[in-house]
A = this chain, B = another copy of it.
């Protein structure tokens, strides 16, 4: 076992494990060096590259878990969907009709993304820490597929959900099936935990979430149950959804920076909390970082806690500050801090 897995399984560890969302990414010069010579799809699809990028932050920062380098869009091209990155995902033909949804293929498990299985095997050979696999939640994947690209308000997608709920459910159902195959494959290849990213769930009200997100998320998370790996879930900007999220079949909920962990903890009983430093804090100087990190750690003392940012690390971040973050978390003794609080 490892500190990360212990905490993910609900253990109130003496030290909070840490990993960083987007820890493999554009703030690292060694990542940019690879990016200069390779397209984004190459970085995802060439197992040696995906492995190397996954391991970069482990070497530099000494975080307690690795997260597979891929995009949430990775499993979708075999369904018959054309996607380019410019640099955000752009869908060749946005899906807006039941006919377009019905035309989507559901590839067999070993056809979804075989290069990911290879990357995972390579990473497992080299990584000193557990490997987190991941996928996009169906509602979030559908957000891009219907809208066609990133957007400020995702108006077309929000319209689609209301105007054609039948097509929406058909799409979510297919994305759920493909996600189950994709994530099972990751676990069978060696992933030791799975995080489901529901980046855009927070855009919707709780009623919409209950109808179009929760049943599909639950199906995916339940399909992973037999593997006995911890399941992590993240929805950004989702305080209004926690009454639905609290009953998702998963062990860990990742919390964004908006609300303190001590306030969120009673809303998500029995879950390990992951988070929740504001990523902008890492742009300030080290003294500010130390104070804010220790505050988040103190807010997390009420139960099992995996330290992370509340959202992905920003590309402007100085890698030295990321290292300072990791070292600050590692130096924080949760048992001692609790004793001090009781005094």
Chain A residues packing against B (C-beta within 8 Å): 153, 155, 158-159, 162-163, 202, 204-207, 237, 239-240, 257-260, 278-281, 283-285, 288, 292, 311, 314, 316
Contact = CB atoms under 8 A, between A and B. Distances in A.
Given A162-B284, A162-B288, A240-B259, 4 more contacts: A159-B280, A162-B283, A204-B258, A205-B259
A281 B163 CA distance: 9
Q: State the number of copies, please.
A: 2
B285 A206 contact: no
Nearest to A88: B152
A275 to B, nearest CB: 11
Contacts of A202: 258
A292 B158 CA distance: 13
A257 B162 contact: no
Among all A-B residue pairs, the 6 with the closest Cβ atoms: A158-B280, A159-B283, A162-B284, A240-B259, A240-B258, A163-B284
B258 A316 contact: no
A281 B207 CA distance: 14
Contacts of A163: 283-285, 288
A278 B155 contact: no
Contacts of A207: 260
Contacts of A292: 162
A133 to B, nearest CB: 26
Contacts of A257: 205
A206 B283 contact: no
30 contacts: A153-B279, A153-B280, A153-B311, A153-B314, A155-B314, A155-B316, A159-B280, A159-B284, A162-B280, A162-B281, A162-B283, A162-B284, A163-B283, A163-B284, A163-B285, A163-B288, A202-B258, A204-B258, A205-B257, A205-B258, A205-B259, A205-B260, A205-B278, A206-B258, A206-B259, A206-B260, A207-B260, A239-B239, A239-B240, A240-B258
Nearest to A292: B162
A279 B314 CA distance: 30
A163 to B, nearest CB: 5
A249 to B, nearest CB: 24
A202 B237 CA distance: 9
Contacts of A283: 155, 158-159, 162-163
